[in-house]
Structures are given as structure tokens and as C-alpha cells.
Amino acid sequence: MLEFITRLFGKDSGSKNIAKERLRLVLVHDRTSISPQLLETLKAEMIQVISNYMEIDESALEVNLDSSGNTVALVANIPVKGMRRVAGA
């Protein structure tokens, strides 16, 4: 049972980290009017597209929205392990 729960929430994600991530998503939603679900969908689609060209470390990938005044910036920290060969390149 404990193994199932560990897999469900991630091997090295404690309840403190989960709570911090949920709070961060709530704050992003409040500041930018973007739902946490939309941000997660955006992150998943970015991973899918970038993975076509690069081998990335998904476990260390960070995608955040930073707001300053009336502007919002999408900030992505994507660790690259290597490049993939693309047909026709």
C-alpha cells in the first residue's frame, strides 16, 4: 500500500513539496488568471514538442509564470541531456 502511494505522489516528493507546489499553482492562478490545469497542459505539450528535438531531464524541468505589473513571462528551465537526430536536418 505504501509503495502505491509513493508511486502516486512521486518517489522523492514529500507532503511539504506537494503543498508548496499546490500553493505555487494557486498563486499563479491568482496573479495571471490561468488555471493550474492549463499550466500543466502547457507544460506537458512543451515537453512533448521539445522531446522531438532534444533528450531532456523531465524530472528537473521547471515551468513557471512570473508576473511583473501588467506583464506575465513564461519561464522554463529545461535541462538538456543531448540532441536527437532529426530527419532532413
* pTM of this structure: 0.53
Domain ranges in the chain are 2-83
Burial of residue 28 (CB within 10 Å: 0-12, 13-18, 19+) is buried
Q: pLDDT of the chain along its 89 residues, tens only?
A: 455 555 555 555 567 777 777 776 666 666 667 777 887 888 889 889 999 999 999 888 888 777 776 677 788 899 999 998 865 55
Bridge partners of 83, per DSSP, are: 54
Burial of residue 46 (CB within 10 Å: 0-12, 13-18, 19+) is middle
Q: Can you tell me which residue has the cell 524541468?
A: 61
